[in-house]
Amino acid sequence: MDALPFSQACENNKAFILEVLLEVFADRREVLEIASGTGQHACHFAAGMPWLRWQPTELAENLRFLLPRCRAYAGANLLPPVALDVRDPAWPLAIPDAMFSANSLHIMAFAAVEQFFAALAEQAGPDVTLVVYGPFNYCGKYTSPSNARFDRWLAQQHPDSAIRDFEAVDRLAAQAGFALRADHDMPANNRLLVWHKPLREQRTPGQVD
Ligand SMILES: C[S@@+](CC[C@H](N)C(=O)[O-])C[C@H]1O[C@@H](n2cnc3c(N)ncnc32)[C@H](O)[C@@H]1O
């Protein structure tokens, strides 16, 4: 078999991410992954959490990097990859009770990040857990010199790519009905952010029907 598309970063971070997901997704049934890349995360997490169904997705033009590894996966809980661009007004799949995306929000333009959360606001039902992994800035500052260097490198690759401000992303999540549950410090200056959309709308104090 030809060598499968491979990301060293995924290989380095997948065990650390799974350690957190084992708790966060303990009571979840299905995960919709956005921007699945090579499928290393999808296969590792589907194998590590056999009670879950894992739905990988990618931009249509990048599905060719995702399909080979998913086809080689032996278990039954990895669903066939689907083309999904977060900028599409209507996503091709319903949002299940969990979502995951790694290293994607700093690649897509901020307008696409806004569209991602606008889709969640429109299409996510109650009781959905959202996990986002990657580098973030806090209070307008890099969390490390290596993240500052990475951001300069990103800008050279594409002017729209940039490490996002945690506060800006959290604001979009809140507007979509998601409340921050946890912010995990991860190796290599990354974060694992967990939001949850509650079972019922949270009411502001004093609100009446
Ligand atoms: C750095 S890769 C991360 C891939 C994988 N999640 C990982 O951790 O290795 C960023 C991914 O974002 C995807 N992407 C970029 N813009 C997107 C969009 N508008 N909708 C969905 N995926 C997008 C790219 O196709 C690419 O696979």
Quick one: 83 and 8 in the same domain? yes
Model pLDDT for residues 76-133, shown as the tens digit of each residue: 999 999 999 999 999 999 999 999 999 999 999 999 999 999 999 999 999 999 999 9
- Would 15 be classed as within a structural domain? yes
- Would 180 be classed as within a structural domain? yes
Q: Assign 205 to helix, strand or coil.
A: coil
Boundary (domain end) residue, out of 66, 98, 130: 98
Residue among 16, 107, 117, 157 whose CB has most ligand 1 atoms within 8 A, to mutate: 107
Q: Is the pLDDT of residue 205 over 80?
A: no
Whether 35 is in the pocket of ligand 1, judged by its Cβ within 6 Å, is yes
Residue located nearest, by CA, to atom 14 of ligand 1: 35
What six digits make up the tokens of 99? 């979502």
Alpha carbon of residue 113 to chain centroid: 11
Boundary (domain end) residue, out of 52, 73, 98: 98
Confidence of residue 204 (pLDDT cuts 50, 70, 90): low
- Would 111 be classed as within a structural domain? no
Whether 113 is in the pocket of ligand 1, judged by its Cβ within 6 Å, is no
- Would 25 be classed as within a structural domain? yes
Angstrom distance (rounded) from CA 118 to CA 141: 26
Boundary (domain end) residue, out of 54, 81, 98: 98
* pTM, two decimal places: 0.95
Angstrom distance (rounded) from CA 180 to CA 31: 18
Q: What domain range is 69 assigned to?
A: 1-98
- Would 195 be classed as within a structural domain? yes
Task: Compute the C-alpha angle 178/181/187, nearest 5°.
Answer: 120
The number of folded domains in the chain is: 2
Confidence of residue 200 (pLDDT cuts 50, 70, 90): confident
Residue located nearest, by CA, to atom 20 of ligand 1: 85
- Would 115 be classed as within a structural domain? no
What are the beta bridge partners of residue 100?
A: 33, 131
Alpha carbon of residue 17 to chain centroid: 12
What six digits make up the tokens of 11? 């290989």
What pLDDT does 92 receive? 98
- Would 128 be classed as within a structural domain? no
Whichever domain contains 69, its CATH number is 3.40.50.150
Nearest residue to 47 (alpha-carbon basis) of 3, 14, 95, 81: 14
Task: Compute the C-alpha angle 24/25/26, nearest 5°.
Answer: 95
- Would 138 be classed as within a structural domain? no
Quick one: 92 and 182 in the same domain? no
Nearest residue to 70 (alpha-carbon basis) of 84, 82, 86: 82
Residue located nearest, by CA, to atom 13 of ligand 1: 35
